[in-house]
Amino acid sequence: LSLYSSPARETKYVENPQTQLEEGVSRLRHVMEPYTAWCQVQWFYVTSAFYSDFFSEGFEFLQNPPAGFYPRLGVIGIAGIVGLFLARGSKIKKLVYPVGLMGIGASMYYPQQTVSIAKVAGTHLYDWSLQGYIAVESLWKDN
């Protein structure tokens, strides 16, 4: 194309005709539009009620924290950052080290909660291992 000449003035934009699939999807969207709009409104009401309570409680907690909360939070956060620096190499280390060190830091400050979480996690782990054992045993017996 020459830089000094203008393009033809008679060009037109022509849309490609819709395929049957596009027409079917378009009809389906128009039929389902009232139902999806209703679902969006309901979802908005449910989530806004939940998050407004959640954030207001969190905001109140941060406005009036218990004594020593921020120093404890700092120690737990620094333990996670140290875990990130120690976790060089595999992606599993990058997940396990920070979480593990933060867990150890949190367990120093909150021992009763740690014990209750460990009990619940232990029961779930036992249940999962038992279900896995039963599944493997049933596969073994079938063959």
Angle at the Cα of 15 from the Cα atoms of 10 and 16, rounded to 5 degrees? 130
Residue recorded with tokens 């679902």: 39
In the chain, where are the structural domains located? Answer: 19-64
10-residue mean pLDDT profile of the chain (143 residues): values are: 67 83 93 90 79 75 88 93 91 92 93 92 93 91 75
Whether the Cβ atoms of residue 45 and residue 51 lie closer than 8 Å to each other: no
With 0.85 as the threshold, say if the pTM is over it.
no
The pLDDT assigned to 140 comes to 86
The pLDDT assigned to 126 comes to 94
**Cα separation, 78 vs 101, whole angstroms:** 9
The pLDDT assigned to 84 comes to 92
**Cα separation, 28 vs 73, whole angstroms:** 52
Whether the Cβ atoms of residue 87 and residue 97 lie closer than 8 Å to each other: yes
